[in-house]
């Protein structure tokens, strides 16, 4: 995750609710088809070193969090940290890297598509 720490362009924080899936395990299963599942601790540490203590943003435990990046794009442009806070949803931290070619509006549009997919 050292490379991520030096390549963060923007960080977004979103609230989410489960629609297509009922819990984080179902989401993990669904996302594992098109995304690489990453160690949550590594992504949290990269964020912490760049923006400070992430616990001010999200409370997480390894069984209640999911870290993913696209399986088809290298180097990664987007990482997601998905934190289940309660049985109906939680927070998504989207980390955009300097490799990204997206603008702000494209990120928001993409999150709508991601929400429909997940």
Predicted confidence (pLDDT) per residue in 8-17, tens digit: 888 888 888 8
Residue 1 has pLDDT above 90, yes or no: no
Per-chain mean pLDDT for the chain: 84
Predicted confidence (pLDDT) per residue in 73-97, tens digit: 888 899 998 888 888 888 888 999 9
Can you tell me the mean pLDDT for 29-55?
80
Per-position DSSP letters for 24-86, written without gaps between them: HHHHHHHHTTTEEEE-HHHHHHHHHHHHS-GGGT----GGGEEEEEESS-SS-SEEEEEEEEE
Prediction pTM value: 0.78
The pLDDT score that the predictor gives to residue 107 is 92
């Amino acid at each position: 995750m050292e490379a991520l720490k030096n390549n963060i362009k923007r960080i977004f924080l979103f609230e989410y609710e489960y629609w297509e899936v009922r819990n984080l395990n179902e989401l993990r299963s669904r996302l594992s088809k098109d995304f690489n599942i990453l160690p949550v601790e590594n992504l949290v540490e990269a964020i912490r070193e760049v923006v400070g203590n992430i616990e001010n943003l999200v409370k997480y435990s390894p069984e209640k969090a999911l870290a993913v990046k696209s399986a088809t794009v290298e180097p990664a442009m987007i990482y997601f940290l998905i934190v289940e806070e309660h049985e109906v949803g939680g927070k998504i931290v989207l980390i955009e890297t300097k490799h990204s070619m997206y603008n702000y509006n494209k990120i928001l549009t993409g999150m709508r598509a991601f929400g429909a997919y997940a």
